[in-house]
Amino acid sequence: MAELQLSPIIAGAWRLAEWQFSVEQRLAWIEGCMARGLSSFDHADIYGGYQAEALFGEALALRPALREQMQLVSKCGIKLVGPARPAHGFKSYDTSAAHITTSVENSLRALRTDRLDLLLIHRPDALMDADEVAQTFERLRRDGKVLHFGVSNFTPAQFELLHSRIPLVTNQVECSPLHLAPCTMARWTKPSACACGP
């Protein structure tokens, strides 16, 4: 399998729903990012109350040829309570095969694509069955729905637990110039990613 190539800086879609852009403005933002060399876009199923991926996908549908020039990253594993997921009784983490698979299917449909370039487990799940996650990842790869896998905000030991069962390409950690501790403890593999925040 080809090595994953991400742009040096990854454009985050976390706040896409808050910007209240029209679909044309969203497309202009995507094209503006790509014109500046930001070809990788970071999503998560929960962003924007489960709406951000669909907003991005709606814009991408205006110029579907852009899909072949970009890399789509998404995350799953957090279950939020809200109107978009009325069956969720309380916020929790879920890394079961059923939840990961359903989340990927939802992301593909929302983003209007046939594959994710990279899928991350969004947060460590104390009840994670590493073998079940690895088997689910292998099945998603075999089906062509996800090309590469990683994690987000895992400790080195948590990373190794899953990495020993299936190769992970990154541990995306939250850090900023004012909060560097996560960067010093994360295991960085090539390529690496850092979600910067305040």
Would you name the residues annotated as active-site residues?
47
Residue carrying the six token digits 């590469």: 148
C-beta pairs of 178-181 under 8 Å, 24+ apart in sequence: none
Nearest to 178 by CA among 150, 198, 156, 160: 198
Q: By the 8 A CB rule, do 50 and 14 touch? A: no
